[in-house]
Amino acid sequence: MIRTIFLFVVLGIGLYVGTQYSGQQGYVLISIANKTIEMSVTTLILLVIALLAALFAVEFLIKKALHISSSTWNWFGSRKLKQSRRDTNEGIVKLIEGDWKQAEKKVTRLAKNHDMPLLCYLIASEAALEQGNQEKRDHYLSLAAKQENSTLAVELTKARQYTKEQRYQDALNVLSELAIQHPDNPVVVSLLKTAYYQLRQWQPLQGLFPQLRKLKLAGEEEINRLEIESRSHLMEQAATIRGKETLTEYWKDLPKRLKNTPELLVCYVQLLLQYQGDEEAFSLLKEHIKKHPNSNSYPLLPELKLESRQPVIKLLHDVIRKDEQHAEAHSALGQLYFQEEKFPLAQGHLEKALKIRNSISDYQLLAQVLEQQDMSQAAHHVSKKALSLIEPTS
């Protein structure tokens, strides 16, 4: 448009000058080497205008041709991009459907033409893994790693795949690096939880609980379960260092809320029994049972090796006095009386416990008590009852 206006302006100026100097065209002489060209000023102006017009016309034609070529190229490129996207979408569906081979084929066919080849290679690596081809999986991951801004996605994919293959140490090696740069990434934290748990790295797992809560990656019930389990294992590790000494130190350092957890108390008492801490164990159990009569710690009482069993027996009688239907107290008393060879008393408490609830161990002990009293037929009947609880019903 500007060039057209320029031509009209030049033409207009030429017409104006021509009319003003009509009959006075002037004279122009151009000499080049041995050649000379003669013409009037008006002719020169017209030639210049014609030359400019010709140049503009050639420029227009060249641009038009280039535009057509570019449009054609873009059309082919756009067509390949659309086809690549369509193939990738179909590949994702095939991956979900479990058709690993087709998924791999679809996403890799036009991966180079995709606007995000990273996605194609990551999906292909998943498909290759599902087919059990680790060499191909690694090849696709290496191609994915060459794409821009691919580090996090590629490393997370590796960690997920290692976890799926139960290669937890390899997964942890990858995740340890990612955790430094992306400490609040929910996928990193979730995979770390799995790796720490499977590798029995209880101390690092403990340090992960605040992030699990913050990112809402686990419910409070699951976190409490993990905390109890990890603390139990850490207590066992503490006990292996210097026995009862480090065990009691670890217990003292526990928060009060954890000391009141029945599962941890039972774990601590069991460890005390292993390291000749029976007196401390009884004191703890006695205090705990008084506060929590329905505690699950009653089976530990017959395991105590004390100078006298009378304090334990008295404790259990106190419990039964308050609750005659306390099956676990009756069961524990039956075991204690069996140890003291007071078989009639043991029989009475075991039978009371079994009237309240079934227990294979109590039936087995009752059979022994009856045998000790020469009640073979009754013992046989009780043994059959215990056997019926073990065998699955048809």
| C-alpha–C-alpha distance, residues 195 and 158, integer Å | 13
Helix (H, G, I), strand (E, B) or coil at 113: helix
pLDDT score at 139? 92
pLDDT score at 23? 54
Tokens of 124: 């292909």
| C-alpha–C-alpha distance, residues 146 and 166, integer Å | 27
Per-residue model confidence as pLDDT tens digits over 319-340: 999 999 999 999 999 999 999 9
Least confident of 16-20, 284-288, 359-363, 374-378: 16-20
| C-alpha–C-alpha distance, residues 295 and 293, integer Å | 6
pLDDT score at 76? 45
Domains of the chain are 277-394 (1.25.40.10)
Position 22 pLDDT exceeds 60: no
pLDDT score at 18? 57
Residue recorded with tokens 């690092």: 204
Per-residue model confidence as pLDDT tens digits over 161-215: 999 999 999 999 999 999 999 999 999 999 999 999 999 999 999 999 999 999 9
Cα 377–chain centre separation: 59
